[in-house]
Chain A
């Protein structure tokens, strides 16, 4: 078991290294101009050289992502709880939610900029609007799948709707919720960068935009690497939290027979 796990990880790491080596060799052999596609070694050098300049932008992007994410989670949980508990609310709200979620979020950035000016606020709002939907859907699904028998057992004890929600509905929703957090944090990140790229003077998205107009292509790619790294890091953090909180849902098959 352990051996297979380690070997699997070694393969994954090997593939990543291979990807960069192949890229490097491809650029060297074709004599690719670094204005088109810089070599990974150039990108990493730029990344290290310019790190002090990049750092505040990284902080900015992370902050807007997290802020939008937290607001999105709060909104998503509230909305998900409402439509998960009430069938009427579910049927009523769902078409509107679908409609809202199908709007490409790039399209709403100009509106946010119009209302709030360019900068942090539209980035936060874009992150929020893009990340709350998966949370709503997952919370609602989790709540709607509570076993009717268990609900009867508790109702027969005189449990209120809130008792059932608190003791059964919400804990049951946790695996769905944390699975959606993983997706939502990635979405929020995309939203924040998107808005920074279009309308902001801070953040990694903006750095990449500026670098691209200056033909500083290695810096554009350095920005891309930073984004990839941050995206993976956020995903990993929420996966770890998920594993900690909802271990019961990913149980092993260690059944004990009578």
Chain B
């Protein structure tokens, strides 16, 4: 993997160790619906994420992992508790984040290049210059990112001409083009085959190491969490709480081979045990 420093991303470099808090949830709860039909999705969750950290959220399905992402992005407001992102409380106005979901949702009538530039059309300060720079600087920016994820020369293609793995790489580019300080990923590789997925882990790791955004990754795949994250939070079944919060200190850049080493497997088993406990607790509660 190439690791050239990227001059375009002149966001604040984060010194290791001493970092400011990027995301802070204190006692945040989310309940959907009202009255009898109220469904608690997240209960009194407290979580602090430092600037530049790569945090993976794992847990049984339906445990409110995605709800945390939606809280941080401002798409959902907490029913109680406080959510602070980038030093400010998440109010009605959303903060500048990059998001990517399992479904790449590229717009079929635009080329990949123009799809990737879409955030620039919306986010200031790019927005005001979009008409002027879309054919020059912004286009170069999009192509530089495409090159970084191994899609050099595919900018002029349309989404239907690309495979699922290629679309997901383009999706990562779209999430990063407006230089967000925060990247929120909701099972971005969930629909891909094992080999493509592993390839994209390396690409995402590379992107993170060059741009150093704060990343919050929701995933079902424990190997994925171990490979990518610098910290893994395990959540309980619905309504979600954080059961375990552990650091992952394997050296970077990590490789797929590392995921078969004893230390890594031990971590995996530890996480698995937590999730199985959570699942059986939930089943007993339900039964």
- Report A's interface with B, CB cutoff 8 A: 147, 149-150, 152-159, 163, 167-168, 171-172, 174, 246, 248-249, 251, 254-258
Contacts and interface: CB of A to CB of B under 8 A. Distances in A.
B208 interface: no
A172 B101 CA distance: 20
27 contacts: A149-B101, A149-B105, A150-B105, A150-B107, A152-B70, A152-B75, A153-B105, A155-B94, A156-B73, A156-B184, A157-B96, A157-B97, A157-B119, A158-B93, A158-B94, A158-B95, A158-B122, A158-B123, A163-B122, A171-B107, A171-B109, A248-B158, A251-B108, A255-B160, A256-B157, A256-B163, A258-B196
Contacts of A258: 163, 165-166, 196
Nearest to A159: B122
Q: Is the interface of B mostly helix, strand, loop or mixed?
A: loop
B105 A256 contact: no
Interface residues of B, number: 35
A149 B103 contact: yes
Contacts of B101: 149, 152-153
A154 B109 CA distance: 17
Interface in B114-163: 118-119, 121-123, 157-158, 160-163
Nearest to B161: A256
B238 interface: no
Given A149-B103, A150-B105, A249-B108, A157 B94 contact: yes
Contacts of A152: 70, 73, 75, 99, 101
A147 B183 CA distance: 20
B160 A147 contact: no
Contacts, number: 79
B151 to A, nearest CB: 10
Given A153-B101, A157-B122, 16 more contacts: A149-B101, A150-B107, A153-B105, A156-B73, A156-B99, A156-B184, A157-B96, A158-B93, A158-B122, A159-B122, A171-B109, A248-B158, A249-B108, A254-B161, A255-B162, A258-B196
Interface of B: 70, 73-75, 93-97, 99-101, 103, 105, 107-109, 118-119, 121-123, 157-158, 160-163, 165-166, 174-175, 178, 184, 196
B100, B101, B184 pick with most chain A CB within 10 angstroms: B101
A256 B162 CA distance: 6
B70, B74, B121, B174 pick with most chain A CB within 10 angstroms: B121
